[in-house]
Structure 1
Amino acid sequence: MSTKVPESPHLLVASATKSFSLSYRLTQLLNQLQPSPEIIFFISAFAIGGASGLALVLFYLGIEFFENLAFNVLMSQISAWGYWTLALIPVLGSMLVGLLYYFYPNFSNYNCLQDQSVVKVSPKLFLIKCLGAAISLGTGASLGPEGPSVEIGGNMGLLLAQLLRVSQKRSRLLMSAGAAAGFAAGFNAPIAGVFFTLERVLGTTFTTPAASIILLAAVVAATIARVVFGIHPAFELPTYLVVNQWEFLLYIGLGVLAGFISLAYTQGIKFAQRSFQKLEVIPRGFKPILGGLTMGLVGLALPQILGIGYGTLEVILSGKIFSIPFLSMILVIKLVVTAICLGSGLVGGIFAPALFLGACLGAVYGQVLVAILPPEVGLIAPPAAYAMVGMAALLAGSVKAPLTAIILLFELTQNYLIILPLMAAVGVSVWIVSLVEAQPMVQTLNFKEMGINLTQQDELEILKGVSVARIMDVDYFHLCDQMSVLKSSQLMISAKCHTALVVDEQGQLSGIITLGDLRHAIRDNSDEIEGLSIGDISTKEILYAYPDESVTEVLKRMLARDIFLLPVVSPDNSREVLGVIDKPLISLASDLTLTERAIASAD
């Protein structure tokens, strides 16, 4: 974000302190008055958005403070020794981050309380993490501020959840609202912030009340950011023009390339993180120095890759033509250096580097098209246009958030003409990543590997070690396949049963039927309903669960197909029913597991 330092930064600190104090008093008042859930939602959205917006203003001022201290004040003193002193800046910054690791070894993972139902946030370590990110980014780490911005907002939501003492589900919602506020203020793009949270944070738990609180929090945070920094976006983009209507087909090729570069980027980060973890002979506090040293040495030859990179990004997007070899070189080196910075422990996110890489890729692709297309094809858009679309395509492939990438570029350009090229390139990029991701050796990044440490556990993570046999219900409701539809309906209504197994005369599984199936059958076959049996209308293609299977894998299948219940069958005979597993049982298993862990930790 292009920031403008206010005339009196201390006033911001004072207002932030007052805001946090006011939020605390407000939550105490809410606990006493017990207002309706709708009012709590409304007030929580404003509290999270306001606190997140102010916290992010201070965070960006911190980045600018360390950047000015390092590259202006310090460099003016040591530059007389020679140009090589530029390499000292990232090294000194990484040494400060290493000191933070020495005194606070787990400051980058401070809210990973894996055995608690509601994550507890330490305000002290939260501030240390923000300081580490400001030092890393201000002294030239090849990372971005948006990841920490999302984390700052998310932790504002978690702090409010702690004060209100809400349930785990409500705590996750408040965290999601804060994450949206952080993204919205970081990019000055509130709509993209909402879509990012709905795609990557909430996922399948999205509900209408959740959308309301996320929208309000994002608007409030973005408004505060605009009051301080102005209404301009994080970086300036040129106007996109359509030259040929058929040209969007060329963006499909850009999407293919972006998909493969996204995979190289994400797998490079995972490889770097694994490699640094294996360096056990090096103390944790010294590993960031390796990242800073690499950054400094590379920065001597290519200063364009130092820091967040928005300045270089705007030059590429302005239409200035760099040579294809140069753009290709900084693309590869930026990718490698970003992976090393994140793997070594420097604090930052992967969003800004992904945008940088996408711009380089798009500019190279655009220049190649200009060089190889024959004149009779006609004019095409300049390389800068492909650079803009490349940013979205590579961001979408890297973080698996296609709608966020499309909406973000649309908000930044405020030009509807860019939508079709964006949809083509982003869609193909994410498709390529999904195809390769199907291989067992390839996995995309999780939040922690992106530089975002919002690690509140969801059901999928909690239930990884729980087997189906442990929670399945052996006393299940079943019906004979020869029973009539009307009688079956009456029995299921009396039993208050949503889904029933259908078995044959030998008690072997033959199908599954739901109240919805029966209702549709009665409505569509009213003339011949008397002679219709449930064996005629039941679902024969059945998804199964096995007793030794992880509940996490079963839940994934149920969520993908929106299934309420699965039969648990014998591994040797898929028609031999051992029990059933349904969504209420899975929720109960989650609560039981968390309670057991709490008891174990107390002992």
Structure 2
Amino acid sequence: MRRPTLSLRSDQFEYVQLILLAVTVGVLAALGNLGFRKLIEFFSWLFRGLEWNALGIDLGGIHLALIPVILLSGGVAILLLDRFFPGDVLGYGFPNFLEMVNLGTARLKRRWIFVKAAGAAISLGAGASVGREGPIAQVGGAIGSTIAQLRKLSPDRAKVLVAAGAGAGIATTFNAPIGGLMFAQEIVLLGHTEIANLTLLIIATFTAVITSRAIQGNAVVFLAPQFVLRSYWEMATYALMGAALGALAAGYIRFFNATEAWFRKLDLPVWVKLEAGLALVGVIAIWLPQNLSDGYPVINSAMAGEFGIGMLAAMACAKIFASSVSLGCGAPGGSFGPTFFIGTMAGGLFQRLSAMFIPHLTGPRGSYALVGLGAFLAGTTHAPLTALFLLWEMTHSDTIALPSMIATITALVVARALETESIDEFRLAREGKTLQIGSERLALTLIPVSAVVTKNVTIVSENTSLSEVLRTAGETSQSTLPVVNSDGELAGTIVVRDLLSVLSGGQELGPLVNAFDICNARCSTVSLDANLDEANQLMEHDGLDEIPVVDRITQRFLGLVTGRQIAQALNRVTVSLSTLATRDPNVYWATGYRVSRITVPAGAAGRTVRQLDARARFSVTVLAVQDAGNPQSEFTPITPDHPLRAGDQLIAAGRAQDIRHFTQELESAGTAGAPHAPAQAGGSGKT
């Protein structure tokens, strides 16, 4: 009888590692958030403390006209930071972050940990009307991506750690672990999360909040008032408010993105657009200084019921305009802060108006301002669970559950009916990109071009004569002829059907015409580390069956990727997944049997299937093997005397517990000594 063992299988050990990595991400994200807060405090002191007082703005009166100078000086600091880190500082970067996570390989730049925090801190410190939540999510995501890269995790695992870092950053910002969890699951991962991955998100967000509370106590950002529900008839009033805020959210999404598009189209230097936009925000602040920065203290005042109808309406409109201009002109920051501000002011405004017409169906001011915050957040981000759990964790009141659900869902329905895209997906959708991709495209994003590239292809040099090009085109089965220069760099491509159309069109092509003259020098290309979804999208856009692969740095031609190869790769993935996850409808397995993939550990290297005698000892049949020395090779049937190598992938069939015992035998093979002899010669006939 085999003794029970406490050793972990390779998949269990991998999951334990992921748990430890999630804990690490949570701790580092919490520390990153604390550092980000300190940066905001420093630049707030520098611009709206030291410089503010030096200019005499604190004296009021005519000195208020100097407020734009504060924002202009902040713009100079942002431009200096952009000079050192070009491409990583300016603008509203959260949509690009979502694109890299959901459509890319989730490999974020490590310098984002500092750059995103510094850029947003300067914006907020100088008074730009932006939020801090998007940048801290990107900082946390960069921390998760860095750890994933150091551990050389696969793209799907890296994506989970990026989302965990982003959720941990949001969780520590609002002292709301469940709200951060929902942010990671609903906004970053778009709701596509397996249970095992959800566990990692929970671990990261709760670890981050525990770390933050251990350092700075149980501090909160918003001083939420006690929620009061006077009558259940108020549900109708909250539904009306949700509908109104949903319509406002749809309008804000369109105005926000229209403003950003207008700034992009301006034929002006980047520094001019940035400084002009910040100066305009400063002019608004002369009359409404509450509009500066993210306005968290003003939100607390609104929840306490300190503002009247006119002031609430003015601040909501000013924030809609100023936040759109701030982020549109290139100031780094996020949209969550302005969303909170607008939702709170709009909720408070609705309460004042409702109290005038239906006083018996209207509760206190703070309650409507609080629910308005969540409803407007759901309408702009299309993330109702994030909004609901943030409200609940801010109040810890069960009474708020039903009104907030009614207002939030109503706002979401109205907002989606008027504008199908969220504030973060709007621009991507206008560029022809969608984050809501199907399972097939998701599978293609995980396969690199290097896995299917064909390197032995027919090429022509750029000085090849036209007659030689025609002869080569007639002899090859390729639809595309890559044209390369003397250094092996891709000069362009010749599409065979286009070549034939040129010839049939009667154009004069003299004897001096060569391949370079007729090739397309602006052809689309992909690199080896691109994924097959990118290649497939480019091929569909250009109407091609093949696309060249080049080195990202040297632009040397490396090979071709064809549509047929992409289809075959997708078919292999689909068949492999269906084989491992379901049973073939033509093969009827007995109850409890399954097919599993097993990685050969180092201790089992050199053994053969005959020596392991899996069928006799464990009732497990080893079906196929993939050579560890060639990860791109396919699975092949395994022979009894085939020596195993560390890292080989085995496909084995049997009952779940038998496969588990067989895996444990492989794990302990390095210390178990010589293999046991089969009990009976005829035992190998078991299935």
After TM superposition, the score normalised by the length of structure 2 is: 0.60
- Residue 192 of structure 1 deviates from its aligned partner by 0.5
Q: Is the 8 A contact 2:171 2:209 kept in 1?
A: yes
* Cα pair 2:141 2:165 within 8 Å, conserved: yes
Aligned match of 2:347? 362
Partner of residue 53, structure 2 = 76
Alignment CA distance shift 1:491-1:35 (3 Å): closer
Correspondence list, 1:413-424, <5 A: 413-424=395-406
RMSD of the alignment, in Å?
A: 3.2
Q: CA contact under 8 A between 1:146 and 1:187: conserved in structure 2?
A: no
Shift of 1:472: 5.5
Give the secondary structure class of the aligned counterpart of 1:346. coil
Matches within 5 A, 1:47-126: 47-79=24-56, 82-108=63-89, 118-126=105-113
- Alignment match of 1:277 (pick from 264, 271, 279): 264
Q: Is the 8 A contact 2:246 2:375 kept in 1?
A: yes
Separation (CA, whole Å) in 2 of partners of 1:115 and 1:262: 24
Query: Which residue of 283, 287, 293 maps to 1:307?
Result: 293
SS at 1:307's partner residue?
Answer: coil
User: Partner letter of residue 446 of structure 1?
Assistant: E
Does the aligned pair in 1 maintain the 2:382–2:422 contact within 8 Å? no
2:386 is the alignment partner of 1:398: no
Deviations 1:4-34 (A, max 9, x none): xxxxxxxxxxxxxxxxxxxxxxxxxxxxx99
Cα deviations across residues 132-177 of structure 1 (Å, max 9, x unaligned)? 1110011111111111111111111000011011111111111111
> Is this contact kept in 1: 2:171–2:205, CA < 8 A?
yes
Counterpart position of 2:425: 446
The CA deviation at 1:364 is 1.0
Alpha-carbon distance, 1:122 to partner: 3.3
- Go from structure 1 to structure 2 and tell me whether the alpha carbon gap of 1:466 and 1:422 turns closer, same or farther (over 3 Å shift): farther
Whole-angstrom CA distance in 2 between matches of 1:329 and 1:73: 28
**Contact preservation (8 Å) 1:270, 1:449:** no
- Alignment of 1:426 onto 2:413: no
Assess, with a 3 A threshold, how the Cα gap between structure 1 residues 129 and 409 changes in structure 2: closer, same or farther.
Answer: same
The whole-number CA distance in structure 1 between the counterparts of 2:415 and 2:101 is 30
Cα shift at 1:399:
0.7
2:587 counterpart (462, 475, 494)? 494
Q: Does residue 37 of structure 1 match 2:14?
A: yes
Displacement of 1:99 after TM fit? 2.3
Q: 2:331 aligns with which of 338, 346, 364?
A: 346
Q: Cα 1:119–1:382, aligned 2, differ >3 Å: closer, same or farther?
A: closer
Measured in 2, the distance between the counterparts of 1:138 and 1:491 equals: 61
TM-aligned CA deviation for residue 116 of structure 1: 10
Find the residue that maps to 1:308 and give its secondary structure: coil
Deviation at 1:495, TM superposition (A): 9.7
Equivalence for 1:437: 419
Structure 2 Cα separation of the partners of residues 420 and 181 of structure 1: 27
Evaluate the alpha carbon distance shift between residue 313 and residue 192 of structure 1 in structure 2; reply closer, same or farther with a 3 A threshold.
Answer: same
3-state secondary structure, aligned to 1:270: helix
**Are the aligned partners of 2:242 and 2:411 in contact in 1 as well (CA < 8 Å)?**
yes
CA offsets 1:381-408 (integer angstroms, 9 cap, x no match): 1122111111000001111100110000
Segment drifting more, 98-107 vs 230-239: 98-107
The structure number with the bigger radius of gyration is 2
- Cα deviations by residue, 1:178-199 (Å, 9 ceiling, x for unpaired): 1110110111111001011111
Do structure 1's residue 329 and structure 2's residue 329 form an aligned pair? Answer: no
Corresponding position: 1:203 with 2:190: yes
Cα distance change of structure 1 residues 255 and 202 upon mapping to structure 2, 3 Å threshold? same
Q: Distance in 2 between matches of 1:179 and 1:447?
A: 21
> Which letter maps to 1:364?
L
Alignment of 1:471-490 (within 5 A): none
Give the direction of change, closer, same or farther, for the CA distance of 1:348–1:279 in structure 2 (3 Å limit).
Answer: same
Q: Is the 8 A contact 2:116 2:138 kept in 1?
A: no
Map Cα deviations across residues 546-568 of structure 1 (whole Å, 9 max, x no partner).
xxxxxxxxxxxxxxxxxxxxxxx
CA 1:447–1:124 in structure 2 vs 1: closer, same or farther (change >3 Å)?
farther
Q: Report the structure, 1 or 2, having the larger helix content.
A: 1
How far apart, CA to CA, are the structure 1 residues paired with 2:299 and 2:422? 28
Report if aligned partners of 1:95, 1:286 keep a CA contact under 8 Å in 2. Answer: no
Give, in whole Å, the separation in 1 of the partners of 2:194 and 2:426.
22
1:290 corresponds to:
276
Compared with structure 1, are the counterparts of its residues 115 and 58 closer, same or farther at alpha carbon in structure 2 (3 Å cutoff)? Answer: closer
Once the two structures are TM-superposed, the CA of residue 218 in structure 1 deviates from its matched residue by 0.4
Residue 152 and residue 188 in structure 1: after superposition, are their counterparts in 2 closer, same or farther (change >3 A)?
same
- Counterpart residue identity of residue 269, structure 2: P
Higher deviation after alignment, 43-52 or 122-131: 122-131
Q: Secondary structure at the match of 2:213?
A: helix
Q: Cα–Cα, structure 1 residues 464 and 392, in superposed 2: closer, same or farther, change >3 Å?
A: farther
- The structural deviation recorded for 1:319 is 1.9
SS of corresponding position for 1:36: helix
Matches of 2:381 and 2:322 in 1, distance apart? 18
Higher relative contact order (CA 8 A, sep 6+): 1
Which residue, out of 212, 224, 228, partners 2:199?
Answer: 212
Question: For the structure 1 residues 437 and 116, does the alpha-carbon distance in structure 2 shift closer, same or farther, using more than 3 Å as the test?
Answer: closer
What is the CA-CA distance between 1:423 and the residue it aligns to?
Answer: 0.4
Partner in structure 1 of residue 144 of structure 2: 157
Q: Tell me the secondary structure at the aligned position of residue 169 of structure 1.
A: helix
- The amino acid across from 1:90 in the alignment is L
Could you give the per-residue CA deviations for residues 318-348 of structure 1, whole angstroms, max 9, x where no partner exists?
Answer: 122x232221121111101100101111111
Q: Which residue of 1 aligns with 2:450?
A: none
How far apart in 1 are the matches of 2:218 and 2:120?
24
CA distance in 2, matches of 1:491, 1:73: 72
Specify every segment of 5 or more residues in structure 1 that has no aligned partner in the other structure, as ranges: 1-32, 477-489, 497-603
Query: Any conservation in 1 of the 2:190–2:436 contact (CA below 8 Å)?
Result: no
Q: Which amino acid aligns with 1:157?
A: G
Deviations 1:63-91 (A, max 9, x none): 01110122222222221782322232112
Alpha-carbon distance between aligned partners in 2 of 1:449 and 1:383, rounded to the nearest angstrom: 37
Structure-1 separation of matches of 2:255 and 2:54: 37
Matched letter for residue 492 of structure 1: P
Q: Would you say how many aligned residue pairs link Structure 1 and Structure 2?
A: 440
CA contact (8 A) 2:78 2:119 kept: yes
Report what 1:134 is aligned to: 121
Question: Does the aligned pair in 1 maintain the 2:309–2:352 contact within 8 Å?
Answer: yes
Q: Say if 1:66 and 1:135, in contact at 8 Å, map to a contact too.
A: yes
- Contact kept, 8 Å, 1:161 with 1:170, in 2: the verdict is yes
Report the CA distance between 1:117 and its aligned residue: 5.9
CA contact 2:117–2:136 (8 Å) conserved in 1: no
Does structure 1 retain, via aligned residues, the 8 Å contact 2:351–2:368? yes
Cα 1:254–1:456, aligned 2, differ >3 Å: closer, same or farther? closer
1:180 to 167, 173, 188: 167
The unaligned stretches of length 5 or more in structure 2 are 1-9, 443-532, 546-562, 572-582, 590-687
Residues 97-142 of structure 1 deviation map (CA, whole Å, 9 limit, x = unaligned) = 1222334320136988899963443333542222111100111111
In structure 2, the CA distance between the partners of 1:208 and 1:103, relative to structure 1 (3 Å rule), is same
Q: Secondary structure at the match of 1:277?
A: helix
CA deviation map 1:282-324 (0-9, x unaligned): 222332212210121111110011111011111110122x232
Counterpart for residue 615 of structure 2: none
Any conservation in 2 of the 1:118–1:456 contact (CA below 8 Å)? Answer: no
